[in-house]
Amino acid sequence: MAATIDLNLSPVCPSDHGTHVKEVSFSHDDDDDDDDLSFEKEADDPSAGDLSNENTKLKEKLIIAYDKYYSLKTHVKKLMQDKEELEWSPRKRKFEDTVQQSSWKRLNEELARSETKIVYVRIDPSDKSLVVKDGYQWRKYGQKVTRDNPSPRAYYKCSFAPTCPVKKKVQRSMDDDGVVVVTYEGEHNHRSTMQEAAYALAHESEIFSTSERMFNSPKLDEGLVEQMATYLSKDSNFTSKLAAAISSKILEVETF
């Protein structure tokens, strides 16, 4: 399966009074094997002008988007847990029989520190910049052409926090020009800009303990919707960060 996320949207700039969101359409392919999210923004027609109607529409769209984000997030979490259990349980049990608890703990910490994740990200094949938006801030410190792949490999360090040890390597795939292979090394010791927003939202949405409750609930928390709207207007990249974070999670699961 190939999950692609189309981020072809113009950010909504609050200071730009000439245009505002006329319609935000959220399409979702129901096929489980292919999650395809896309947003569209159209230029405003001044004659169409009922702002409160548009606000209501926007809220509805946000509710749907949040519904889908939440159920997707739950699904991804479950997949990762299943995978972890499948991969580790037999080995772990056998290993724990022979190794002392403390050694196991130390080994686990070591593994967490040296964790390497490979993520495949679909990009525009004509885009040569090797830039992958994943909600973190990166500083490029090198570029090399490797033997096995004619396209250069770029080296990045996380520059969001000075103490963050995470590095990533980005290289175009040999097989598919429209796919870049991103290798992450280490664990972030801070939240991404996108996670900061999601964290705030999670606090707001604690009342929704399960996705079923959300789907059964006829009326969503207005405050939550308002807050999402605030994030959308304050952070013009919020939507793309959200989409990028979700897509990287999906692709991450695919990789395993």
Partner DNA sequence: CGAGTTTGACCCGCGC
Partner DNA sequence: GCGCGGGTCAAACTCG
191 binds DNA (CB under 7 A): no
**Binding segment (CB under 7 A) for DNA, from list 56-64, 135-143, 192-200, 208-216:** 135-143
Measured between alpha carbons, how far is residue 122 from residues 183, 218, 220, 239 in Å? 14, 37, 34, 17
- Looking at the DSSP bridge assignments, the partners of residue 5 are 37
Closest by CA position to 10, among listed 249, 245, 237, 248: 237
Q: Map residue 39 onto helix, strand or coil.
A: strand
Strand order in the sheet with 138-146: 116-122, 179-185, 167-172, 149-158, 138-146
Helix ranges, the chain (H): 51-98, 101-113, 193-204, 211-216, 222-234, 238-255
Q: Applying CB under 7 A, which of residues 69, 136, 138, 184 lies at the interface with DNA? A: 138
Q: How far is the CB of 159 from DNA (least distance, A)?
A: 5
140 binds DNA (CB under 7 A): yes
Q: How far is the CB of 256 from DNA (least distance, A)?
A: 20
Q: Which residues, numbered 145-174, are part of the site for DNA (CB under 7 A)?
A: 146-148, 153-155, 159, 167, 169
Q: Applying CB under 7 A, which of residues 49, 142, 165, 223 lies at the interface with DNA? A: 142
Count of residues in contact with DNA, rule CB under 7 A: 17
Looking at the Cβ atoms of 104 and 155, the one nearer to DNA is 155
Provide the mask over 78-117, with x wherever binding to DNA is found by CB under 7 A and - wherever it is not.
----------------------------------------
Q: How far is the CB of 245 from DNA (least distance, A)?
A: 19
Q: Applying CB under 7 A, which of residues 77, 78, 94, 144 lies at the interface with DNA? A: 144
- Looking at the DSSP bridge assignments, the partners of residue 37 are 5, 28
**Binding segment (CB under 7 A) for DNA, from list 21-29, 30-38, 142-150, 241-249:** 142-150
137 binds DNA (CB under 7 A): yes
Cα of first residue to Cα of last residue in the chain, in angstroms, is 13
The total number of residues shown for the chain amounts to: 256
Looking at the Cβ atoms of 81 and 143, the one nearer to DNA is 143
Query: Which class for 250: exposed (0-12), middle (13-18), buried (19 or more C-beta within 10 A)?
Result: buried
CA–CA separation, 66 vs 232, rounded Å? 13
Looking at the Cβ atoms of 138 and 184, the one nearer to DNA is 138
44, amino acid identity: D
**Which residue ranges make up the site for DNA (CB under 7 A)?**
137-144, 146-148, 153-155, 159, 167, 169
